[in-house]
Amino acid sequence: MTETMNDYLELRKVIQIILRWLWLLLLVALGGAGLGYVASKSQAPVYEATTTLMVGQVIQATQISRDDLLTNEVLAQTYTDMAVRQPVLQGVIDTLNLPDTWRGLKKRVHAELVEGTHLIQIRTEAESPEMARIIADEVARQLILLSANATQSRETAEARGFVNQRLDNLQKKIEYGRARLQSLESALLQAFEVGSDPNAIQRIQDLQGEINRLEELIDSWEAESTQIVIYLKDRSRANSLTIIEPAQASLNPIRPRTKLNALLAAAISFALAMGLVLFVEFRDDTLREPDEIQNALKTPVLGHIGKINGKSEHDRLLPALNPGSPLSEAYRIIRSNIEFKTAERPAKTIVITSPGRAEGKSLMAANLGITMAQAGLRTLIIDANLRQPMQHRLFRVANAAGLTEALRSPELALDHLVLETKIPNLFVLPSGQVPLNPTELLGAQRMREILASLGQMADIVICDSPPALGLADASILANRADGVVLVLGVGQTRLEDARQTISSLSLANARLLGVIVNRARSRFHRYLRVVNATSLATSATPRSSRRWQWLPF
């Protein structure tokens, strides 16, 4: 069952990858088709001519034996092979004065035996239909010249004199014998007329014996002449080669096949592009699908946020967006999911971090703080990223003094460092000056005291921290906070980095509330159901008994 499910998930992933890159695959296929079409059009057209020869004279024969069929089959195969050999092709080149070698011509001449017959089909290719026809006819003629027909004609001419002389002698003997036989038969009749003369009876016996001997000689002469004639006829019939279909050329070129080449080029381009896409996608372990993220990390997904466009960082805050937009609704869903997740064990201090840089955690912390402030909560955002602070730029507040100064000078009053924003219920503690030892400052006892003091001033404290991988800052803050939210960038965060971050937070005894998928595709911008809301709400306490009073949305 598990194996079947894994196969289903892999197939689903492949389909999703193909659908995601379908525009590129179609574009590559269209480009391949165009290149195939142009390449085909640039090639010179090639025409084909076909001629057919028959081996033997089996069709004309009145009696066909098995030996005749076997002989013709062997001869047909032999002549088929001879048609593309040097003697035949060189003869064609010499006769037609072709500017080519016999090896070059061999590439344009094809001979094949028609299956189930004794017919040889010769196909030739040339730049024009007429030249293809001429070459095909000449190949057939050269094959006939080298066949047994020509050889036998010479041998038969030499032997025919002897045979004719022998047949003439036999014919003369037969004629002489028949004339002698007639004279003997006449003499025999005269002897019978004589009657009972003893000499006549002896004469009759002698004549009858001579007649019998003469008839036997005549029969033997006739049989010999008949056998010679039959032998010569059989010999010429079995080993003959005849053109039964003169060469005929096609009016349309056989190459290039422009449409087919364009189609094949498109198919090959599509297949290669798809193979490359699948290779890159399967080698790329960056997180892309929310379902994939939840299954791979075994961590609840609190919500999905699409890409927020804006000319500046300030333009990407929620007040600049339509309150009824899908992005605003997505942040409300995340706020609600955090409420469900912390219903039994409230988390007043939440750290927002990510595995690496530029994954959107600072903007996520700012907009999440705005959403909570809009719900009526007194919200404070701490810019705890003492290396590359961003919150003062997002909210356009001064950064002359902030968390760094509070950590270095315990005598400073925190309420003088916390700045009010233009958004009701929302306050910001900027980072202040960038220190040389941010890790030591965040790990000091003073940081615990600051978080405790700020917790008394606000309903919810959100800490924007540095990336979790490669730096100890996020793990230190996570250990001191009530909960951690991990921001993962679609197509940016690697699966292994996400797993390593979760492992590091676990070693720091941090309470991971869940992950937020940032820069999700537009199909997630529609109304999004609350992930795991049912299971979280089932174990939640009634709204009236919670410490946080969330406003309806």
When mean pLDDT is compared across 66-70, 102-106, 422-426, the lowest value belongs to 66-70
546 or 408, which is more confident? 408
3-state helix, strand, coil in the chain (%, to 5): 55, 15, 30
264 shares its domain with 326: no
pLDDT of 366 reads 94
Which pLDDT band, with edges at 50, 70 and 90, does 537 fall under? very low
202 or 419, which is more confident? 419
When mean pLDDT is compared across 111-120, 188-197, 332-341, the lowest value belongs to 188-197
Mean pLDDT over 384-405 rounds to 92
CB atoms within 10 A of CB 344: 11
Mean pLDDT over 141-156 rounds to 68
Question: Which residue is associated with the tokens 């927020």?
Answer: 308
CA atoms of 494 and 228, how far apart (whole Å):
95
Kindly tell me if the per-residue pLDDT of 235 is higher than 90.
Answer: no
Please, which residues bridge with residue 514 across strands?
A: 485
Which pLDDT band, with edges at 50, 70 and 90, does 376 fall under? very high
When mean pLDDT is compared across 133-147, 166-180, 325-339, 426-440, the lowest value belongs to 166-180
When mean pLDDT is compared across 226-235, 258-267, 411-420, 491-500, the lowest value belongs to 226-235
User: Could you give the maximum distance between any two Cα atoms of the chain, in Å?
Assistant: 182
The CATH number of the domain where 191 resides is what? 1.20.58
Question: Which residue is associated with the tokens 């705890």?
Answer: 384
pLDDT of 62 reads 52
367 shares its domain with 508: yes
Is residue 311 situated within a structural domain? yes
Which pLDDT band, with edges at 50, 70 and 90, does 18 fall under? confident
Burial 163-197 (b: 16+ CB within 10 A, else e): beeebeebeebbeebeeebeebeebbeebeeeeee
Which pLDDT band, with edges at 50, 70 and 90, does 201 fall under? confident
Is residue 298 situated within a structural domain? no
Mean pLDDT over 136-140 rounds to 93
pLDDT of 258 reads 85
Residue-by-residue DSSP string for 262-292:
HHHHHHHHHHHHHHHHHHHHHH--B---HHH
Kindly tell me if the per-residue pLDDT of 196 is higher than 90.
Answer: no
487 or 547, which is more confident? 487
pLDDT of 546 reads 36
When mean pLDDT is compared across 45-49, 163-167, 383-387, the lowest value belongs to 163-167
Inter-axis angle of helices 198-238 and 66-82, nearest 10 = 40
In terms of C-beta distances under 8 Å and separation of at least 24 residues, what long-range contacts does 540-546 make, across chains too?
Answer: 540/340, 540/343, 540/344, 541/343, 541/344, 546/339, 546/343, 546/346
Which pLDDT band, with edges at 50, 70 and 90, does 503 fall under? very high
Is residue 515 situated within a structural domain? yes
132 shares its domain with 167: no
Which pLDDT band, with edges at 50, 70 and 90, does 534 fall under? very low
Mean pLDDT over 201-224 rounds to 78
Contact 513, 341 (CB under 8 A): yes
pLDDT of 198 reads 67
The CATH number of the domain where 342 resides is what? 3.40.50.300
CA dihedral 184, 190, 196, 200 (to 10 degrees): -40
Which pLDDT band, with edges at 50, 70 and 90, does 390 fall under? very high
Is residue 551 situated within a structural domain? no
Kindly tell me if the per-residue pLDDT of 58 is higher than 70.
Answer: no
136 shares its domain with 232: no
Is residue 138 situated within a structural domain? yes
7 or 402, which is more confident? 402
Kindly tell me if the per-residue pLDDT of 533 is higher than 50.
Answer: no
176 shares its domain with 48: no
Is residue 532 situated within a structural domain? yes
Is residue 289 situated within a structural domain? no
Mean pLDDT, rounded, of the chain: 81
Amino acid at position 129, single letter: P
Amino acid at position 293, single letter: I
Nearest 5°: phi and psi at 472? -90, -10
247 secondary structure, DSSP code? E
pLDDT of 542 reads 38
Helix (H, G, I), strand (E, B) or coil at 218: helix
501 shares its domain with 376: yes
pLDDT of 529 reads 41
pLDDT of 286 reads 76
Number of independent structural domains in the chain: 4
135 shares its domain with 230: no
The CATH number of the domain where 141 resides is what? 3.30.310
> Is the peptide bond preceding residue 256 cis, with omega within 30 degrees of 0?
yes
454 or 60, which is more confident? 454
CA atoms of 404 and 392, how far apart (whole Å):
14
The C-alpha angle 450, 456, 459, rounded to 5 degrees, equals: 115
CA atoms of 397 and 371, how far apart (whole Å):
19
Contact 128, 186 (CB under 8 A): no
Contact 424, 379 (CB under 8 A): no
Helix (H, G, I), strand (E, B) or coil at 75: helix
Kindly tell me if the per-residue pLDDT of 231 is higher than 70.
Answer: no
Residue-wise pLDDT for 484-495, tens only, equals: 999 998 878 888
Helix (H, G, I), strand (E, B) or coil at 484: strand
In Å, how far from its chain's centre is CA 185?
97
Which pLDDT band, with edges at 50, 70 and 90, does 46 fall under? very high
Mean pLDDT over 278-294 rounds to 74
Nearest 5°: phi and psi at 419? -110, 145
CA atoms of 333 and 540, how far apart (whole Å):
16
Helix (H, G, I), strand (E, B) or coil at 523: helix
Mean pLDDT over 98-110 rounds to 92
400 shares its domain with 527: yes
373 shares its domain with 436: yes
Share of the chain above pLDDT 70, in %: 82
Which pLDDT band, with edges at 50, 70 and 90, does 3 fall under? low
Strand-pair category, 301-306 with 512-520: parallel
pLDDT of 445 reads 92
Domain around 92: 44-147
Nearest 5°: phi and psi at 312? -135, 170
Which pLDDT band, with edges at 50, 70 and 90, does 525 fall under? very low
54-63, 225-234, 495-504 — most confident range = 495-504
Contact 100, 142 (CB under 8 A): no
340 shares its domain with 430: yes
Is residue 288 situated within a structural domain? no
pLDDT of 40 reads 83
353 shares its domain with 501: yes
Share of the chain above pLDDT 90, in %: 40
Closest C-alpha to 351, from 384, 308, 395, 392: 384
User: What pTM was estimated for this model as a whole?
Assistant: 0.56
138 shares its domain with 167: no
